[in-house]
Structure 1
Amino acid sequence: MNIQYQKTDNVNALLTVSLGEADYSPKYKEKLKEYGKKVQLKGFRPGHVPASVVEKMYGTNIKVEQINSLLSESVLGYIRENKLNIIGEPLPKLKSAVDWHAQKDFEFEYEVGLVPEFDPQINNNRKFEALRINVTQEVIKETTENLRKQFGVNVEADIVSEEDYITGNLKALDGSFEKNTMIPLNKISESELPKFIGKVLNDKIVFDIRKGFNDDSAYIAHASGATKDQAETMNGDYELIVEKIHHQALADYNQEFYDKVFGKDAVNNFEEFSIKLKEDIERNYQTETQEFLKGNVYRSLVQTVNIELPVDFLKRWMLVRNPDKVTPQTIDKDFGPFLDGLKWNLIQGKIADEAGLQVDQEEVMARAKNMYLGYFGQMQPTPEIEDVVNKMVEKYLTEENGKNFNKLAEQIEFEKTLEYIVSKVSVSERQVSVDEFREIVSKENQKN
């Protein structure tokens, strides 16, 4: 066997593999004997079919199989031994038709895509802006009120106010529908809401049911207790007789409220509550702004790091690798995002190697465990819940031949790489309000 390597340009090369009969014959004969022991043919005892007959029946297929196996091993072995920095996979270059039956010597060519050396230039010459959201008293007050609503108690009221729930008899004025139900006022449209506010027990409220629920048949069904088909036909004026008014009273500032928000005895008075709430809001905002910064870093590197890539080769490789998803007609549309992802993988790989970034099994398991604890809504589980979660994590990470494990490992490596990059580049800070931050994110998303 002879393998010749010819670099056609900076990012493309050709591997030529020459095979003689002596290269594949031993494996070919060995496989032929195996077939001879298994073949069952009328007129012969099992395992006693003449070798010439077996070869005539299966020889060509066995030869093709053994040569292809030898080619694959040899090409990949050559690439590995010579430390060729390739991208994608070698592509067979079709020449003249092969006469597998008659030929004894063969020559095959493979196109290879190369990745030249590149420098991602991760240093303080790269400048980024980190946004820090200013937590105002207004934000703290709004969050506090939302928490008081969330953990408040349901009481019966004498007069209807916004966001109350009304229990009563709902009926169509034309007599086509009647049912006892509970209607949440936070779902009533602004145009019909004034008809409800200020009403007291036993009052009658007449409203247009389609206007009242913003012409949403699904919610008409949910609020009225009607079937989906009934709701589609419900229209016109309906009458609701007020039987009960349910009001969500705000939670008082007491230990029970503090424990519901932060856990038992985490805070013990309003001052401690306010301090911890501000810290939590700042931490949540910081997570958002850090993710936004990392996204900007990712996009900047993909756009600015100069990596010469074998574009034509990669397009051919995409077509061969994904014939069901990529066609010559769609290749240009699909290629841009593919190339960006490929560039990032190369950048990430180089940085991870140079910085010694690694992901171990314990990190992956911890990530999966936190994910499942999040589903249970608690980060300090009971022993019983922790036991259930551990079993779920083990199952999740081992199923699908470890695909889930690899997916989480890739996520962690992605995050570690970006965190490392952020630590090496120049980052200035700017204070913004939460509304300004949302607007900046929205504009950035529109660009991308």
Structure 2
Amino acid sequence: MNITKESIDALNAVVKVDIVADDYKDKVTKVLNDYRKTANIPGFRKGNVPMGMVKKQYGKAVMIDEVNKLLQESLNKFLVEEKLDILGNPLPKAQDDFNWDAETFSFEFELGLAPEFDVNLKSKKKVKQYNIVATDELIEKEVENIQTRYGKMSSLEEATEHSNVTGTFVNEEKGINKKSTFLVNDLKGKKNEKKVIGAKAGDVIELDTKKLFEDDHKLQTVLGVSHDEAHDLDVKVTLTVEEITKTEPAELDQELFDKLFADGSVKTVTDLKGKIKEDAEKQFQQQADQQLLNAVTEHLVEETKFDLPKEFLQKWLQTAGEKQLTEEEAVAEYEKSEKGLRYQLIEGKIMKDNDIKIDYAELVDYAKGFIRSQMAQFGNMNPEEKELEDIAGRVLSNQDEARRLQEQLVAQKLLAFYKENLKFDAKEVSYEDFIKEVYNVEK
């Protein structure tokens, strides 16, 4: 057997594999002998089928199978030994004159090679970084929400500005039929409030969905529609009032504080607001970190210039998935995935150059931390170590789950690395301004 590589350019190459009869004939003979011993063919006792008959019926199929096995093994070994960093998979070149009746065979494969490049982490261009702070307004609103959640509820004869209305919203055309509870104060505009204030159980009220609530996202919850539908929904709905209640806010006293924080860490309203601020900003940090990772990704892709074997990758995409793509579909798929591929290469280069690794023990610890936080949400604050170990083992035995957790851990490590090594333009904002600036959405 002979394997050679011909470089077309820095990003493309062709590998040629020449296979002669001596490379495969012993394996073919062994397979045929094994088959002869076990074959059940009418007219012959087991093990006494003439070899000539076995060769005639099965020889060519066995030979093709063994040649293909040998071809795949030798090609993979060559790529490893030559340390060829390829993109996608080798693509066999079509040969019009190929003949399986010959004894010697030549196969050619196109390769797309990964580019060589350096990542400049010292670029003068800064990446926007947000520090989201919990405003006094947000904290006060959360205090009110807590008082409402733990308050005492009483029935009312008719709806008032500060009452809760429970009823069923219906619009047959849009398939809306949802029983919900909302606060009259959450309605937008005096016109809508006027329709509801004074209503009693059994009343039927017609409302316009457009600008029905101060917060458009409230429409999504109340009507049971999707996020996209909620923003553009402009239809009439009927509300059949079923119950009207009023919530007397809970007192901000030690009894309430202990319900919220059983460890006794909150003694005053100031302590409560401090906890709310701390918890809110911890959640905000996760969103800020995700935005930062997205911004860094865009920055590195923009700042790191290199060519890709574009034509090869488009050709490879045609056959890479379960469904074969047309040439036009493959081009469109490449354009969608090019930025992701570029960042994948950049990420790999950064991890290699800076010795950023993940071992299995780290992955297990990360999985255990994730499981611990999940269990805490259901009230199990102190799970035993063995229980965590067992659950982590089961989770990581699932390849998809293991890959997902590994990707999260890699992103976490890279984010920490980026924070230490890139230049940032830091900006302190409220959560509302963050959503407005980053996602261009009015909250």
Common fold, TM-score beyond 0.5? yes
Residue by residue, what CA displacement relative to the aligned partner does 1:205-254 show, whole Å, maximum 9, x if unpaired?
A: 7443566998x9x9799xxxxxxxxxxxx99897x6x9x74222222112
The Cα of 1:325 is off from its aligned counterpart by 5.8
> In the alignment, what sits opposite 1:229?
none
Residue by residue, what CA displacement relative to the aligned partner does 1:407-430 show, whole Å, maximum 9, x if unpaired?
A: 211221133223312321111312
> In the alignment, what sits opposite 2:292?
293
Task: Measure the CA separation in 2 of the matches of 1:354 and 1:220.
Answer: 52
Question: Contact 1:164–1:248 (CA<8 Å) still a contact in 2?
Answer: yes
2:91 maps to 1:91: yes
> In the alignment, what sits opposite 2:323?
324
> In the alignment, what sits opposite 2:66?
66
2:350 maps to 1:334: no
Under a length normalisation based on structure 1, what TM-score does the superposition of the two structures give? 0.80
> In the alignment, what sits opposite 1:176?
none
2:425 maps to 1:428: yes
The Cα of 1:381 is off from its aligned counterpart by 1.6
Question: Contact 1:208–1:237 (CA<8 Å) still a contact in 2?
Answer: yes
2:310 maps to 1:311: yes
> In the alignment, what sits opposite 1:139?
138
> In the alignment, what sits opposite 1:302?
301
The residue identity in structure 1 corresponding to 2:427 is R
Q: Which runs of 5+ in 2 are unaligned?
A: 169-178, 213-218, 225-235
Task: Measure the CA separation in 2 of the matches of 1:379 and 1:220.
Answer: 28
The Cα of 1:343 is off from its aligned counterpart by 1.4
**What is the RMSD computed on CA atoms of the aligned residues?**
3.6
The Cα of 1:5 is off from its aligned counterpart by 1.0
The Cα of 1:59 is off from its aligned counterpart by 0.8
Question: Contact 2:158–2:201 (CA<8 Å) still a contact in 1?
Answer: no
Question: Contact 2:182–2:222 (CA<8 Å) still a contact in 1?
Answer: no
Q: Which runs of 5+ in 1 are unaligned?
A: 171-180, 222-233
Q: Percent identity?
A: 27
Under a length normalisation based on structure 2, what TM-score does the superposition of the two structures give? 0.81
> In the alignment, what sits opposite 2:29?
29
Paired residue secondary structure (2:265): coil
The Cα of 1:283 is off from its aligned counterpart by 2.5
Task: Measure the CA separation in 2 of the matches of 1:122 and 1:182.
Answer: 52
Residue by residue, what CA displacement relative to the aligned partner does 1:309-362 show, whole Å, maximum 9, x if unpaired?
A: 111111111112125163323122211232222212211111112222222334
Question: Contact 1:88–1:314 (CA<8 Å) still a contact in 2?
Answer: yes
Residue by residue, what CA displacement relative to the aligned partner does 1:81-117 show, whole Å, maximum 9, x if unpaired?
A: 11112111111111134322x2111111111111132
The Cα of 1:61 is off from its aligned counterpart by 0.8
Paired residue secondary structure (1:308): coil
> In the alignment, what sits opposite 1:116?
115
Residue by residue, what CA displacement relative to the aligned partner does 1:152-192 show, whole Å, maximum 9, x if unpaired?
A: 33234576434634689x9xxxxxxxxxx996555988645
Task: Measure the CA separation in 2 of the matches of 1:434 and 1:426.
Answer: 23
Paired residue secondary structure (1:339): helix
2:427 maps to 1:441: no
Question: Contact 1:189–1:212 (CA<8 Å) still a contact in 2?
Answer: no
Question: Contact 1:17–1:107 (CA<8 Å) still a contact in 2?
Answer: yes
Task: Measure the CA separation in 2 of the matches of 1:144 and 1:97.
Answer: 80
The residue identity in structure 2 corresponding to 1:403 is D
Question: Contact 1:13–1:114 (CA<8 Å) still a contact in 2?
Answer: yes
Question: Contact 1:154–1:247 (CA<8 Å) still a contact in 2?
Answer: yes
Question: Contact 2:372–2:383 (CA<8 Å) still a contact in 1?
Answer: no
Task: Measure the CA separation in 2 of the matches of 1:428 and 1:302.
Answer: 18
The residue identity in structure 2 corresponding to 1:155 is S
Task: Measure the CA separation in 2 of the matches of 1:349 and 1:182.
Answer: 50
